[in-house]
A = this chain, B = another copy of it.
């Protein structure tokens, strides 16, 4: 299946401002690129690198005045919904591969050390495995109310647990935190999510956040915000939490005047 994804930012900056931009599909995995195009007005020379989590990053210095950055890509994704394997097991810590251990540790927005008691009280008696992770998603999906009002870019999972409100990133942070508190490796993921096979939300498209959980021998997608296995997901990156995977990390305060995101299924060629 082909999906067209992309985004456009318009910034107004008073002084030249450096920024790291993460909007390109993640290197690894099932998504393959057919066409990709970056456009900047006025033209910005961007350097690229791959961060310590395997995410593609671009660095841009935004000039004073108004700047437009636009990324547009056509990608191929699997025709099927997020894979699942209900018998994928929770591994004992000693059986986890080295490289996933970092995702059992607390992080800025996922302080699993603080929520250990809550996690064990709520989910400690649920049988381990896929079902327990799904139970966490169900709980977060049911208990947290989606909305832009009662959230903050500095909200941690503790804040989300207290306010029971937030956006998709907050849902992901809370679910990641519960998993880690139970010693289940979980990471924050971020990307494009087209509305395929679901009722149109009617709201403007935005980037989406979800989580990936290590069960059995691989990472599996769980989406506590939508709590659905979806078709067409295009990951941009993943990391310990939203700090590591921000669409834009600006070193200074350029004003984001407008942002548009798109993720649309394309007709069969």
Interface residues of A (CB under 8 A from B): 18, 20, 27-28, 31-40, 43-52, 57, 59, 61, 75-76, 92-94, 98-99, 101-102, 104-108, 111, 113-114, 153-154, 183, 243-244, 249, 251-252, 269
Contact = CB atoms under 8 A, between A and B. Distances in A.
Contacts of A108: 106-108, 111
A18 B52 contact: no
A27 B43 CA distance: 19
A126 B51 CA distance: 31
A184 to B, nearest CB: 11
A18 B93 contact: yes
A37 B34 contact: no
Shortest 6 CB-CB contacts between residues of A and residues of B: A32-B45, A93-B251, A45-B76, A49-B98, A18-B93, A18-B94
Number of copies: 4
A243 B48 contact: no
Given A18-B93, A93-B18, A101-B20, A32 B51 contact: no
A146 to B, nearest CB: 23
Contacts of A37: 35-37
A182 B39 CA distance: 31
Nearest to A17: B93
Given A18-B93, A243-B107, A34 B43 contact: yes
A96 to B, nearest CB: 9
A191 to B, nearest CB: 15
Contacts of A35: 37-39, 43
A267 to B, nearest CB: 13
A113 B44 contact: no
Contacts of A51: 98, 101-102
A252 B38 CA distance: 33
B52 A32 contact: no
Contacts of A38: 33, 35-36
A264 to B, nearest CB: 17
Contact of A94 (B61, B102, B107, B249): B61
B27 A59 contact: no
B105 A244 contact: yes
Contacts of A107: 107-108, 243
Contacts of A52: 52, 99, 102
Contacts of A154: 111, 113-114
A32 B47 contact: yes
Contacts of A113: 153-154
